[in-house]
């Protein structure tokens, strides 16, 4: 199911991949719209100053949750704490450096918090897995980080190295006018032939919708369309907690029920598998 939802452009680059955004390979009008998006979200400096992101990635079909995992990511140093559950429902924690892809995995007792709830009074000790057992979980954590951060942060990544921007026209929807910016990619990611379109509201300069055709979609496929709803401030920047599409009679949602930004966090959150404080991620109201 997650494979169907994965707008999975990985920004792990090939050796020949560009190291900086090249404006000469993009449409000036598309660049101008993209710059307005970044300004509306808080600005380039605010984004660069954002260090720690803690968020959940949840998938719902017709109101029923079918997937859930969390990421605590140090953007500056590449440290990631990934929490999910195995096929048997057992929680696990992965501590990984997303630059080197090296790290460790730990199995957790089933009573230990893995979805943002309070930890038990006396949690059992997490068990470190051997290298062979940990390897597929390290791979899962890395690939989930690629996918899930793109779902959360795509508008901030429109001028990443290797991205080509093209102005794709205008549209009017529900009385609002939009500029469309097409994104294609050069030698970056696991799926560099993906194509995306950002639907940018001319009034707010925020991306209210995205659409995409993935490289493995059948020839002639129509773009898959998702509405981005509820942009809200977290720290210095804006983030979007809800993405919605209607497909084959079903309503699918990507949700971020945890979505927080921090300036400082203890190193222990990234170096050990002990439970995070119960208060992390419990806020349900938008930041002021």
Which H helix or E strand runs over 5? helix 2-5
1 lies in some domain: no
Q: What was the pLDDT predicted at 37? A: 98
Which CATH number is 79's domain given?
A: 2.50.20
179 lies in some domain: yes
Banded pLDDT at 2 (limits 50, 70, 90): very low
Q: Do 223 and 212 touch, CB atoms closer than 8 A?
A: yes
9 lies in some domain: no
Banded pLDDT at 109 (limits 50, 70, 90): confident
CA 186 remoteness from chain centre: 20
Structural domain that includes position 177: 18-117+126-271
Q: What was the pLDDT predicted at 215? A: 86
Ramachandran category for residue 69: left, alpha or beta (phi over 0 → left; psi -120 to 50 → alpha): beta
What integer is the mean pLDDT of 274-284?
A: 73
**Is residue 78 pLDDT above 60, yes or no?**
yes
Banded pLDDT at 3 (limits 50, 70, 90): very low
Q: What was the pLDDT predicted at 17? A: 52
Residue among 139, 193, 183, 194 at smallest CA distance from 161: 183
Q: pTM for the whole thing?
A: 0.87
Over pLDDT 70: what percentage of the chain?
84
281 lies in some domain: no
**Is residue 71 pLDDT above 60, yes or no?**
yes
Residue 219 neighbours by CB under 8 Å, 6+ apart = none
Q: Do 61 and 252 touch, CB atoms closer than 8 A?
A: yes
- Please count the structural domains in the chain: 1
Beta bridge partners of 74: 52, 79
Banded pLDDT at 125 (limits 50, 70, 90): confident
Q: Based on C-alpha coordinates, what's the Rg of the chain?
A: 19
Q: Do 242 and 255 touch, CB atoms closer than 8 A?
A: yes
Q: What was the pLDDT predicted at 12? A: 45
**Is residue 118 pLDDT above 60, yes or no?**
no
**Is residue 165 pLDDT above 90, yes or no?**
yes
Compute the distance between CA of residue 73 and CA of residue 83 in angstroms, rounded to an integer.
12
**Is residue 115 pLDDT above 60, yes or no?**
no
**Is residue 8 pLDDT above 50, yes or no?**
no
Residue 218 token pair: 């059948």
Q: What was the pLDDT predicted at 111? A: 60
Ramachandran category for residue 158: left, alpha or beta (phi over 0 → left; psi -120 to 50 → alpha): alpha
Q: What was the pLDDT predicted at 122? A: 54
Banded pLDDT at 108 (limits 50, 70, 90): confident
**Is residue 285 pLDDT above 80, yes or no?**
no
Point out the least confidently predicted range of 1-10, 42-51, 149-158, 236-245: 1-10
Mean pLDDT of the chain: 88
What integer is the mean pLDDT of 234-253?
A: 96
13 lies in some domain: no
What integer is the mean pLDDT of 106-129?
A: 68
Q: What was the pLDDT predicted at 281? A: 64
158 lies in some domain: yes
Residues 203-219: tens digit of each pLDDT = 999 999 999 999 889 98
138 lies in some domain: yes
Q: What was the pLDDT predicted at 193? A: 81
What integer is the mean pLDDT of 176-195?
A: 85
49 lies in some domain: yes
């Amino acid at each position: 199911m997650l494979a169907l939802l994965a707008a999975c452009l990985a920004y792990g680059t090939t050796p020949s991949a560009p190291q900086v955004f090249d404006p000469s390979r993009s449409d000036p009008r598309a660049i101008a719209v993209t710059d307005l998006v970044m300004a509306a979200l808080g600005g380039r400096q605010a984004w660069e100053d954002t260090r720690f992101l803690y968020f959940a990635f949840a998938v719902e079909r017709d109101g029923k949750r079918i997937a859930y995992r969390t990421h605590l990511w140090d953007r500056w140093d590449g440290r990631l704490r990934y929490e999910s559950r195995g096929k048997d429902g057992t929680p696990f924690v992965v501590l990984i450096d997303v630059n080197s892809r090296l790290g460790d995995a730990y199995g957790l007792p089933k009573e230990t918090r893995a979805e943002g709830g309070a930890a038990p009074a006396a949690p059992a000790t997490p068990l470190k897995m051997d290298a062979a057992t940990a390897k597929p979980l390290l791979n899962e954590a890395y690939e989930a980080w690629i996918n899930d951060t793109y779902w959360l942060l795509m508008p901030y990544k429109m001028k990443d190295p290797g991205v080509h921007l093209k102005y794709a026209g205008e549209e009017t929807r529900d009385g609002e006018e939009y500029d469309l910016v097409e994104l294609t990619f050069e030698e970056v990611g696991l799926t560099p032939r993906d194509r995306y379109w950002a639907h940018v509201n001319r009034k707010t300069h925020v991306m209210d919708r995205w659409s995409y055709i993935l490289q493995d979609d059948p020839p002639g496929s129509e773009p898959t369309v998702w509405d981005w709803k509820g942009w809200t401030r977290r720290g210095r920047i804006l983030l979007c907690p809800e993405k919605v599409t209607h497909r084959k009679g079903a309503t699918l949602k990507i949700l971020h029920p945890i979505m927080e930004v921090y300036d400082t966090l203890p190193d222990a959150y990234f170096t050990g598998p002990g439970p995070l404080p119960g208060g992390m991620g419990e806020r349900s109201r938008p930041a002021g």
